[in-house]
Structure formats: C-alpha cells, structure tokens
Chains A and B, each alone.
Chain A
Amino acid sequence: MALSRTAHIVTAYGEELDQLADDLARMGGLVETQLEKAIAAVVRRDASIKPDIKAREAQVNALQVDIEKRVLRLFALRQPLATDLRMTISALKIASDLERVGDLAKNIAYRAGDLAGYAPLPLTQQVERLGAIVIKQLREVLDAQSSADIEPAVRVWHSDDEVDERYNTLVREMLLAMTEDSGLVGPGVHILFVAKNLERIGDHATNIAEAVHFMVTASPLVDDGHS
C-alpha cells in the first residue's frame, strides 16, 4: 500500500505529514553520511574528522527534536488514522533509532582519532567490510521507509545474523592477534569498540526494519521460520 502523499482533502494536513517524512529522510541521510565518514576515518586512522562529526551530530539531534515536535503536533491537532497513524508512529520510533545511530557513529569517529598515532592494524579490512554491510543495511531500510516497501525491510531484518557473525569472528581474531602481539592491545581495543558500535548500529537497522514493516502492514515483523 503506497502512501499517497498529496491526496488529503485538508492540504495543510497532507503537507504536515510530508514535512515529517522529509525531516525523517533528511535525518536518515545525515546519519548515513556520518557513518560513512566515521568508518573511512577509522580505516585511515584519521583524527581530523572530529569537528565535522560533532557538527553533524548537533544537526541530527535538532532534527530528532523537530520530528518529535511534528509528531506531537499531528497527534494533538490532526489525530492521524490508519496509514497516517502508523506512518507517524513509525517516524517517531525511527527518529529515535537514527539518533542512537548518529551517536554510535560519533563514537566510531572518536575512536578513529584515538588510532591516529598507530601503525596500520591487522583486521582493518574486516572492520571496513563490516562497516560497509551496516551502511548498506541502513541505506536499504531507509529507502524501504520512504518507498513504504517491506521486501527490502524484511531482507535487512534477516541480514542482521550476518552482521553478528562477522562481528563475533572479528572479536575472536582480534583477541588472538592481541595475545600474539601485546603491542596490539592498545589499538586493538579501539578496533573492538568500533566493531561493537557497528554491531549495535546493525541492531538499530533491524529496529527500523520492524518499524517499516509495521508502518506498511500494521503487523509486527516476526520470524516465520522459513524465509
């Protein structure tokens, strides 16, 4: 069921819903970029990104506040129903997940700064790979939200297992590397935190997938055991 964006009889109401959707899309875009930059900075062990990430985080937080205000206003003044109700509720949930993702991306960027003094590290490629998967998840689930399409949302939801697996492997290998070379303990801990943050972001992408599923179908996304 596609959400018709302009068909409301009360034009201003339709516009308010559109603005909510636009805010959410903007917030998603910002968070995506933030995450991309943070991961790239980790790969380069680059501290220079910190101020940029900080500024973006402020924007993300402001957008979340804005979205909360819009949702409150819609409930108080328009009493949205059916798809509009579900879209509004999901926007609120997704915005709070995105805010958390933004926060985790900021943590990742800060770890990039902590890595600045070190020589190239083993397992960097694996971190980059994990990051690429999580970014893809985030992008797909946000696209699913804006096009009200459950198929990619369900796919993202199922792909969380792969993220967890890669994360566990990375932790195991890093611990092994650290036992073999105690000089890796310092930077290795930073890498472990980065990986942990990425894994958490994957969980938020899963939450967003559930919100999209609810928005489109009005039913929760549960494991049907055969897909």
Chain B
Amino acid sequence: MSALFEFCLRMGDNTLVLGHRVSEWCGHAPVLEEDIALANTALDLIGQTQMWLGLAADVEGQGRSADDLAFLRDAWDFRNLLLVEQPNGDFGVTMMRQFLFDAWHLGQLETLIDSADDRVSAIAQKAIKEVTYHFDRSSGLVIGLGDGSDESHARMQTALDLLWPFAGEGFEADATDLELAGAGIAPNPAGLRAAFDARVEQVLQRATLSLPESRFAHRGGRTGARHSEHLGHMLATMQVLQRSYPGATW
C-alpha cells in the first residue's frame, strides 16, 4: 500500500466518519438554526470525503471508487482518528468534538495547501475555506456555552475532560508520515502540535474551561490497529444498504 493512498484514507475517513456522526443530528438538534448548521457542516465534510477518497481510489488504481472505499471496507480498514468516531453525546460533546477536530484539521490543511502534490494541494485549498468557517462556528459555541450558564459550563467541561484524551492521536507520526514529510507531500503531524495547543488554549481560556493536565492519548484509529467499539456500530448503519443490496443505485 502506498503512503499517499494511506494518507488520503486518513484524511477522507476523518471527514467521512465525522460527517456521518454530525448528520445523525439531522432533525434532532436543540434548535432549528443549529440543526441546519449541523447538516451543512456534515455536507461539507462528506464533500471533502468525496475528494479525498476519490484521490485515494485514483492513487490505488485498482478500479475502486470513492463510494466503494466508503461503503465496502470494514472497521479495521478505516484510518480515521478515534476522536471522530466517538458518539455524539449531548450537544456540548458534539460541539467540543467538532472544535477539537476543526483545530487539528485547520492546522493540517494550512500546511497541505503547499503540498508538493498538486492534487493534495487543490483539495486542501478547497477544504480550508469550509473548515475555517467550521472552526469559527465551533469556537464561538465552545466560548458561548463554556462561559454560559452553570449548567452549560459544567457540560462543556465534562465534554472536554471526556474528549481530551482523544486529541493527541492526530500528532503521532509513523513511517507513512515520515515518508510523506520527506517528499514534501504532507507535514509531520508532530510538528503541528504547538500551533494546535495555542489555538485551543486561546479559545478555552475565553470559554473559562480548564484543560486537563494529562497528555495521555488513546491511539489506534489512524493506523487501523485498534478502533473503539463505536466505529463498527456506526458503519453497520452507514453501510447497511450497500451491504444488503450490493451495487444498488438510485
């Protein structure tokens, strides 16, 4: 498996899994405006998935399509961060997950726009406009809810404590990362940590939330070694139609 193929799966699986998770809110959000915002965010993420998994399929050159990669792979073939497969929880957990992902995603895309691979750069240039907007929204909600009522503050702190151990995985580097960093195609994720910390701390401070001290990080999602039990359940829902009626179109 080529490093570039692996990298495209990592990018595309993040946006696919989070896009599906966020779409689970459709029709259930606390207020209409947030329902629409969540659905639009999910739509952007699924659009980005089509670009990343489309490139993965081209790079692989085995005749698989972006749809084949999304609907016909099993949980152990997915390369998304554990963070994005975590269940939605309450609205606070969903927004904290979005905020931590957006902060990581934005840092990643900022370097990918200068990728030595034109196809990677083109996707990053497109996606960064949408992700800048996502980060603006999720930061605003984290601040508004964190520095809100006692109830909303408590829920946001609980969400941060729950999700923080999943924030570190995005900065781990393996042989794939080192190969791509050497070729100037993608950054070494370890080098993005400082900017991420600064970005996150600035928002959390305004949100009156405290960052947990532990840097312990769950890992195993982006390598596919050990996903959480939640991914399989999510895929069962997401893939059921193509698995039950292979090749179905409409």
Task: Report if A and B associate in a common complex.
Answer: no
What is the interface of chain B, defined by CB distance below 8 A to chain A? Answer: none
